Amino acid sequence: MRVLVAAASRHGSTREIAQVIGEQLCEMGIATDVKDARDVISVEEYDAVVLGSAIYVGQWL
């Protein structure tokens, strides 16, 4: 199984959370990539995607 953890973060906190999630998945033996959401071109190569974003004024970044 291969997982993508993608996050949009304005000040870095959401990115830090994504990194911890990615580390935990790796510790469980799951191949994981952690990327900025804006850098994701395709999710075809992944079996699962975890998507996170900061929210400002009710809107995802």
Beta bridge partners of 6: 35, 51
Q: Using CA atoms, how far apart are residues 4 and 12, in angstroms rounded to an integer?
A: 18
Cα torsion for 18, 49, 29, 14, to the nearest 10°?
Answer: 0
Read off the DSSP letter of residue 18. H
φ/ψ (deg, to 5) at 44 = -55, -35
In this predicted structure, what is the pLDDT of residue 17? 97
Each residue of 19-61: pLDDT tens digit?
999 999 999 999 999 999 999 999 999 999 999 998 888 888 7
Q: What 3-state class would DSSP assign to 24?
A: helix
- Among the four given CATH numbers 3.40.50.720, 3.30.1300.10, 3.40.50.360, 3.30.565.10, the one describing domain 2-60: 3.40.50.360
In this predicted structure, what is the pLDDT of residue 59? 86
